[in-house]
Structures are given as C-alpha cells and as structure tokens.
C-alpha cells in the first residue's frame, strides 16, 4: 500500500510532537531535582520555555490539517525511554548520566526536525517551515550548550565529590 506525502507528514508531525512532550517531562523532572548545577538548571529552564513554543508550532500544524497529536507510540520511545532511564535512577552520579542523556536527546530532536523539514517540503507544506527551522535552530543551540556543559559539569561533580559534598544532582 502506497502512502501519500500528506499522511507521511502528519505522522512526522505526530512523532515530533510526542518527542517534545517527552522532552518536557524529562526536563521538568530534572529541573525539580537539580540543586548543585545552576548552569545546567538555567539551560534546562530556558529550553523548557522554548519547548513550549516548539510544541505549540507542531500543534498548530496538526490542527491546520485537522489532525490530532497521537498517543505515545511505544516502539518509537523504546530507545529514548531506555536512554532516559539512565538518569531516572537515583545514583551518586545522577548528574553525569542526565548530562549524557540530555546530549543524546537534543541530538535525537535535531534528527527529528531535520527529517520533518524534508517531509514538509516533499508534502508541499510550506506554511510551517520557518517555524520548524526555528525549532531546529533551538535544538542545535541546546545541543551545543549541553555539549559545552559536559566538561564543566564533570569538573564540578569531581570537585564536590572529592571534597565530600553532595554531588549527585
């Protein structure tokens, strides 16, 4: 059975929307728990605000096609879920695992938006392209921020741990 580009586009919108809803859950949970890593906390807070806008753009595109956000697709989230579960287990090095997971997740989102943009163009859906390009730039900026924080976060983790202070989150 052949699929038309329009239905492929709707599915891509739904998948990307599900990714953003997952992103919000992950970041909100981390932000609540973070105590000793203010730079990571600030980056997450800023990106939570951006992610609300990204979610709204996807919902606007879906409703312009009279389509609804889908319920979570389990298979699709198997990979992401496993990756994020790393950070969900309370551990002495929770902050490090969350940092790795955040880095992976932002790059996952970059791939999702890069693909969505190709599909949107193929489907002749130009109305929301510039919005999704903005979302992609925000994901790229956050990915760079998290990448830059790997070193400083690890150094702070080492410093707190070695001096006997609370370092986990």
Site for Fe ion, rule CB under 5 A = 109, 139
User: By C-beta, is 96 or 143 nearer to Fe ion?
Assistant: 143
User: By C-beta, is 94 or 109 nearer to Fe ion?
Assistant: 109
User: By C-beta, is 31 or 91 nearer to Fe ion?
Assistant: 31
**Nearest approach, Cβ of 20 to Fe ion (angstroms)?**
8
**Nearest approach, Cβ of 79 to Fe ion (angstroms)?**
16
Question: Burial of 8 by CB count in 10 Å (0-12 exposed, 13-18 middle, 19+ buried)?
Answer: middle
Residues 99, 153 contacting (CB under 8 angstroms): yes
**Nearest approach, Cβ of 47 to Fe ion (angstroms)?**
6
Give phi and psi for 148, each to the nearest 5.
-70, -30
Distance, C-alpha 127 to centroid of its chain: 23
């Amino acid at each position: 059975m052949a699929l038309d580009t329009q239905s492929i586009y709707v599915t891509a919108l739904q998948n990307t929307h599900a990714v953003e809803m997952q992103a919000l859950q992950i970041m909100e949970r981390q932000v609540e728990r973070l105590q000793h890593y203010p730079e990571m906390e600030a980056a997450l807070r800023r990106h939570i605000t951006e992610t609300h806008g990204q979610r709204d753009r996807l919902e606007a595109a879906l409703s312009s096609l009279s389509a609804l956000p889908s319920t979570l697709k389990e298979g699709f989230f198997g990979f992401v879920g496993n990756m994020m579960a790393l950070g969900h287990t309370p551990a002495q090095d929770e902050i490090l695992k969350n940092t790795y997971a955040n880095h992976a997740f932002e790059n996952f989102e970059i791939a999702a938006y890069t693909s969505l943009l190709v599909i949107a163009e193929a489907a002749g859906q130009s109305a929301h392209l510039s919005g999704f390009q903005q979302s992609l730039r925000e994901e790229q900026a956050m990915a760079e921020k998290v990448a830059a924080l790997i070193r400083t976060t690890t150094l702070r983790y080492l410093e707190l741990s070695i001096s006997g202070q609370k370092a986990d989150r």
